[in-house]
Chains A and B, each alone.
Chain A
Amino acid sequence: MLILSRKAGESIVIDGRIVVKILRLEGELVKVGIEAAREVPVHRQEVYDEIQRNNREALTENHPQLPHFPGKPAAPAPAKRQPVKETVS
């Protein structure tokens, strides 16, 4: 890992297109500003990691049968799943 020392107000340029600026220090917090093109997704890592993990857990194979959830009538024999219609209006 490349390690750089920066003072508040100083920046790092990545790949000529992403600027990471150390804005200020507030106790244990470091305020970081990131300038990047819109097509560069930027996430807090712990949030990114937990949603990524949750997505992996959520992926289903071969369309499993759903449990019976409250408020829903008991499902009859499943009909064929159909694409949801998108209408042109």
Chain B
Amino acid sequence: MITAELTETETHCTEGRDIIRLPFGLLGFEHVKQYILLANPAEEPFLWLQMLDDAKRAFLVVPPERLLADYQPDISDDEVEFLGLADPADAFLLNIVTLRGNGQATVNLKGPVVINRRTLIGKQVIPNNAAQYSLRHPLAAS
């Protein structure tokens, strides 16, 4: 079984290149279907979802539990089935961060990327309860 070794306290790193497959891409980037996830301890808890075929282009992402204690996106049964999430613990959530200059950044809580830890297949989903979450949740730098 393949699992992503990502925990609250540690992020393992190797030279391995495990490919995350997004069959639908990200919204607006439907044609880019393969990514790798990069971490730098100095940048915790943030990670980079980098296009496999273009090392210059990446999305800054963050596991939402590192920012919000009560984030509970309601993923539809169709999405759960598509992602093959037999157990909720198989779901690895990442939210896309937008750097907006002057030390400002926002996190998209409305369209999380959900990845199956076992298969590394993911999808950007719009949860049933998306209306209660912000597209631009502020993440102020000090």
Contacts and interface: CB of A to CB of B under 8 A. Distances in A.
Given A58-B97, A58-B98, A78-B42, A70 B140 contact: yes
Contacts of A58: 59-60, 96-99, 108
A25 to B, nearest CB: 22
Q: By DSSP majority rule, is chain B's interface helix, strand, loop, or mixed?
A: mixed
Interface residues of B, number: 61
Nearest to B110: A51
A56 B12 CA distance: 29
15 contacts: A43-B126, A48-B126, A54-B111, A58-B96, A60-B59, A61-B56, A66-B60, A67-B141, A69-B139, A78-B42, A80-B40, A82-B39, A84-B18, A86-B2, A89-B1
A59 B26 CA distance: 11
7 tightest Cβ-Cβ pairs between the two chains A and B: A82-B13, A52-B28, A67-B141, A86-B18, A85-B12, A67-B103, A51-B111
A72 interface: yes
**Highest count of chain B CB atoms <10 Å: which of A43, A60, A80, A83:** A83
Contact of A51 (B37, B120, B135): B135
Given A86-B16, A86-B120, A60 B103 contact: no
A47 interface: yes
A53 B43 CA distance: 25
Q: By DSSP majority rule, is chain A's interface helix, strand, loop, or mixed?
A: loop
A60 B103 CA distance: 15
Interface residues of A, number: 43
Interface in B118-137: 120, 124, 126, 130, 135-136
A1 interface: no
A7 interface: no
Nearest to B4: A86
B113 to A, nearest CB: 10
Contacts of B12: 84-85, 87
